[in-house]
Amino acid sequence: MDIHNTNEDIVFNNVQKIFEDIRQTGNPEKLCLCEQCRADTICYVLNRIEPYYIVSNRGLTRLDQSGLKYQQIEVDVTTLIYKGIRMVNHNLRPTASHDDSNSEKPRANFPVFDIPTISGRLFDGVSFEPVVGIEVGLYSEGELVPARNNNWQNPYTIVPSTPGIFSFWPAPVITETADVSRNIRYAVKVKSPDYEVLNHHFTITSISKNLGSHTQTLNRSFKLPDLYLFPPGEAEQNG
């Protein structure tokens, strides 16, 4: 089933246009126009407008781009974009380089395995409480998996605001041919002095495709089963 929020396209395209307009006018306010700030601005706007979903591309034919409703959406989105740009610039992410040379540019059209986000939950196996302060790593072939960007740390330390929850978004895996299926093996590893070492192995099947110019949308996810940590020797005692 192909479900799409068309307002994502409106926001993304308008953010790109406005950022380029600011650049072409000399950027008198010295705003950061890097790719990270573009992505943060897109998220700021999308979190403040209602989605408009369609099923398949046929839904596009039902959108009246000359209608008052569509025009009002454009006005609201534009207003939010300018507000979002300033909000993002007042709260620049410390994990991003904010190098304007890395701003969104057309990407080469080469095939990749585009890996979905990977998420899971980690619990204490005795108390069944979600754990915090525990470092979780995502590995493939014995090596830490490169992340999609700096906002997706690997390894990741579970924080108190989201107890037990961890997630990763691996970088695309470059390949030679499109439309090829591959089983990619991963392992979630947890090593803590308070618990036995945890190794959870799993496989994701991916079909290679040509990398498009727009890969911002988290449109797929791979959810792991709940994982449990046990004190040293506890797992053996409980069989």
Q: Give the start-to-end residue ranges of the domains of the chain.
A: 3-102, 111-237
At 220 the pLDDT is 64
pLDDT tens digits for range 110-162? 788 988 889 899 999 999 999 999 999 999 999 999 988 777 789 999 989 88
Concatenating the DSSP letter of every residue in 61-89 gives GG--TTSHHHHHHHHHHHHHHHHHHHHHH
**Interstrand relation of 53-55 and 209-210 (parallel, antiparallel or unpaired):** unpaired
Confidence of residue 3 (pLDDT cuts 50, 70, 90): low
Confidence of residue 212 (pLDDT cuts 50, 70, 90): low
Q: Is the dihedral of CA 154, 160, 161, 165 positive or negative?
A: positive
What is the token pair recorded at 88?
């993002």
At 104 the pLDDT is 43
Furthest-apart CA atoms within the chain: distance in Å: 69
What is the token pair recorded at 132?
């915090």
Q: Could you name the CATH architecture of 111-237?
A: Sandwich (2.60)
User: Over 80: is that where the pLDDT of 1 sits?
Assistant: no
Confidence of residue 74 (pLDDT cuts 50, 70, 90): confident
Provide the whole-model pTM: 0.59
